[in-house]
């Protein structure tokens, strides 16, 4: 498990000090915001930038072992299901503000069950 809190604090320190602009750090794409709304959970942490809304937190999964799920947002339940069915893949926990677009990596870790079968990749990838 890798905690990205230090990096997050550094970005926020730069923002508060005026070394970077809010536009540079509040760059969540509409796709990321929608994924967080649909598949994520709302935390009790207030957005550190606009200080208006609670942050959403969403999981992204990456790896050859999960086939078509590679590079998609997932609920916690879906990540658990993937982890019990397939070998090693990476999970990225991302926080997103629906208001100002602040987003940052919170934690990353590896998941999966050794000895299980990698998922097949279908020929046609969903856009």
* Binding flag, residue 49, Zn ion (CB under 5 A): yes
Stretch that binds Zn ion, among 40-48, 57-65, 69-77, 81-89 (CB under 5 A): 40-48
Q: Which helix (H) or strand (E) holds 6?
A: helix 5-16
* Binding flag, residue 47, Zn ion (CB under 5 A): yes
What phi and psi, each to the nearest 5 degrees, are found at residue 125? -90, 140
Count CA within 13 A, CB hemisphere, residue 99.
Answer: 12
CA 100 to chain centre: 17
Number of residues that bind Zn ion (CB under 5 A): 7
Q: Which of residues 63-102 bind Zn ion (CB under 5 A)?
A: 97, 99-100, 102
How far is it, in rounded angstroms, from Cα 81 to Cα 20?
39
Stretch that binds Zn ion, among 30-38, 48-56, 65-73, 79-87 (CB under 5 A): 48-56
Task: For Zn ion, give the closer residue by CB, 50 or 105.
Answer: 50
* Binding flag, residue 50, Zn ion (CB under 5 A): yes
Q: Which two tokens stand for residue 107?
A: 């934690």
The least distance separating Zn ion from the CB of residue 12, rounded to whole angstroms, comes to: 12
**Residues linked to residue 96 through DSSP beta bridges, in sequence order:** 56, 103
Q: What is the binding site for Zn ion (CB under 5 A)?
A: 47, 49-50, 97, 99-100, 102
């Amino acid at each position: 498990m890798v905690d990205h809190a230090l990096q997050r604090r550094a970005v926020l320190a730069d923002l508060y000090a005026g070394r970077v602009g809010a536009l540079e750090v509040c760059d969540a794409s509409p796709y990321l915001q929608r994924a967080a709304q649909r598949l994520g959970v709302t935390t009790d942490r207030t957005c550190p930038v606009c200080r208006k809304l609670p942050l959403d937190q969403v999981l992204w999964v990456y790896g050859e072992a999960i086939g078509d799920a590679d590079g998609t947002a997932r609920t916690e339940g879906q990540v658990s299901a993937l982890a019990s069915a397939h070998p090693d893949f990476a999970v990225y926990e991302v926080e997103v503000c629906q208001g100002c677009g602040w987003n940052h990596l919170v934690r990353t870790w590896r998941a999966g069950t050794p000895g299980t079968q990698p998922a097949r990749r279908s020929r046609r990838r969903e856009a």
